[in-house]
Amino acid sequence: MATRWGICSAGRISHDFAVALKTLPAEEHQVVAVAARKLEDAEEFARKHSICRAYGSYEELARDPDVDVVYNGVIHPHHLKTCLLFTNAKKNVLCEKPLAMNTKEVKEILDSAKRNNVFLMEAVWTRFFPVSVEIRRLLAQRELGEVKMVRSEFGRPLMHVPRLLQKELGGGALLSIGMYCLQLVLMVYDGEKPESVQATGVCLETGVDETVVVTLKFSKNRLATFTYSSRVALPNDAIIVGTKGTIHIPEKMWCPTSLVVNGEERRFPVPEPSLPLNFPNGTGLRYEAEEVRLCLLKGLKESTIMSHADSLLLAELEDEIRRQVGVVYSQDCQ
């Protein structure tokens, strides 16, 4: 039987998610409903993606008995409220990253999911790409020997995007793009908490972070460093260095389709989309959807690839980086 999806929000990322689901077998994945704050937005989205039900409120989606799992694509500051709405309605949830604005909110969401006995996962899509699967395989087989260093960069000129500049919209480069570098480091070091975090950076007049350099030290003298920026274009690649070799993830490290292992390139292309996409390699959202279906079929309440503990550590480190560079959201003061 197909996993029946409800989509919360008719925005750009939800569009790409719906297109990505179309690259999977219809007998496995089906979008049965979409909800937006305005009914006409939901209806237009439903027409574009051939979805039979459109709702003008998120509450109606939460009440739909035919929805197995909700894809939550609202903007960052609304993640807490919408996730709680769906988990309290006993709906399984795949929530766009960041799971919430800070650790306190993340804990609230995770507690609600556990209390209501539903599946919940933060949609860190990078972790589910075939390239990431291959990286984990190589590391598990110790192909690089002992990993000593991880370096990554993610920078794009995004000063024209209001959502990234305004604090009340959950702006700042860390929660939108820097977290991709951080999640890679945590994946490579197998969810270990670093011994130390050092962050230095530049903030905009609006009080959100623009460009930041972060250094992390882990046990056994292992290091990681990453730079992220919403002001300038960076190489957007990553490198994992061990005592016996190196993995290089070329440009677009957040949605990778190739990697170079000790000089040898391996390619993992994503499927072609049926409609124009908003984000590069957007059909790669299919991989996290496949993971959700697998977990639901097994009766799991969280994924081992992006676990609740992973989301919690990610949030804790994001909070610490923000503290060091001086970014405070209204949610931090509540």
- Give residue 334's pLDDT: 82
pLDDT beyond 90 at 147: yes
pLDDT one-digit tens code per residue, 66-95 = 999 999 999 999 999 999 999 999 999 999
Whether pLDDT at 142 is above 90: yes
- pLDDT for 333 equals 94
Cα–Cα distance measured from residue 39 to residue 56, given in angstroms and rounded to the nearest whole number: 4
Q: At what angle do helices 286-298 and 12-21 cross, to 10 degrees?
A: 70
Q: Can you tell me the distance from the alpha carbon of 39 to that of 17, in angstroms, rounded to the nearest whole number?
A: 20
Q: What is the pLDDT of residues 28-49, one digit of tens each?
A: 999 999 999 999 999 999 999 9
Position 136 pLDDT exceeds 90: yes
Closest residue by Cα to residue 247 from 144, 99, 107: 144
172-206, pLDDT tens digit by residue? 999 999 999 999 999 999 999 999 999 999 999 99
Beta-bridge partner residues of 150: 224, 240
Distance CA 127, CA 183 (A): 8
Q: In what order do the strands lie in the sheet with 29-35?
A: 53-55, 29-35, 3-8, 69-72, 92-96, 120-123
Residue 126 predicted with pLDDT over 90: yes
* φ/ψ of residue 328, rounded to 5: -125, 125
- Mean residue pLDDT of the chain comes to 98
Element (DSSP H or E) covering residue 287: helix 286-298
Domains and CATH numbers, the chain: 3-125 (3.40.50.720), 130-268 (3.30.360.10)
Quote the percentage of the chain above a pLDDT of 70.
Answer: 100
> Comparing C-alpha atoms, which of 1, 28, 2, 6 is closest to residue 17?
6
27 vs 174: CA distance, rounded Å: 38
pLDDT of residue 223: 98
Instruction: Collapse the DSSP code of 12 into the 3-class scheme (helix H, G, I; strand E, B; otherwise coil) and give the result.
Output: helix
Burial class (CB in 10 A: 0-12, 13-18, 19+), 241: middle
